[in-house]
Amino acid sequence: MDAGVIALLVAAVGVAGTLLAPITTTWVGSRARLQEFELQQRAEQARRHVEEAQRNLERRRETYVALNSATRRYRILMMEDVHVLLNGGPLDADGAIENARLEFQDVYAQAQMLIPDSVLGPCHETRVALAEARKVIAALHKEGEPGQEAWQSVHADVMRIWDLIQAMQEAMRADLGITASLPAGRASGQLPYVPDPPLPAQHRFLSRRDETRPGQDRA
């Protein structure tokens, strides 16, 4: 190959490089911008997922607080009706327990659409136990003054509902990712005793012994 041909080829390559340089630069720039856009999109999607997960967590937390409060109040007032059975007074004279039942049912219905099955199961068991206990209390009251054995049986049933409430609370805490170190002497899975909020004076039927006995959520 003579020098003229080589020079011509070199010149052709140079011209092609000059013509293609802007195109190559534009393609590289476009590719870089596309990759940056994709990274931004993925980051935005991840941020939205995190925010949505946080909103769901807060909604569940609010639901758990409301459901726990409504359940405990319903049980407290139900226990008071158990004590009323002893003196033959009217059940739910001021309608407080019916209001508590309606509040509990309303909160529970909302929770059904939001909380996971791992929490809904214990909540459902508690709801069934509360409903069954109220039916028994109403039946005993309708029959008149109950015998000691019947009264002790329904009293024990309502007391055992606290165990179901504890299981419900543990499921809620697990779903929220709440963990705590256990004090010495307390078995794993057993929550610390937290007293119920005080009730108005007209709703109190318990003895001081029942109110202060540790380790039980007594109404």
Kindly report, residue by residue over 30-78, the tens digit of the pLDDT. 777 777 877 877 887 888 878 888 888 899 999 999 999 999 999 999 9
109: closest CA among 118, 117, 120, 99? 120
Distance CA 34, CA 40 (A): 10
Report pLDDT for 183: 43
Q: Tell the burial category of 115 from Cβ atoms under 10 Å away from its Cβ (0-12, 13-18, 19+).
A: buried
pTM to 2 decimal places: 0.64
Distance CA 27, CA 118 (A): 53
Q: What does the DSSP 8-state code read for residue 201?
A: G
pLDDT per position as a tens digit, 107-162: 999 999 999 999 999 999 999 999 999 999 999 888 877 788 888 999 999 999 99
Grouping H, G, I as helix, E, B as strand and the rest as coil, residue 215 is coil
Residue 152 tokens read as: 């002790």
Grouping H, G, I as helix, E, B as strand and the rest as coil, residue 180 is coil
134-162: burial string, b at 16+ Cβ within 10 Å, e else: bebbeebbeeeebeeeebeebbebbbebb
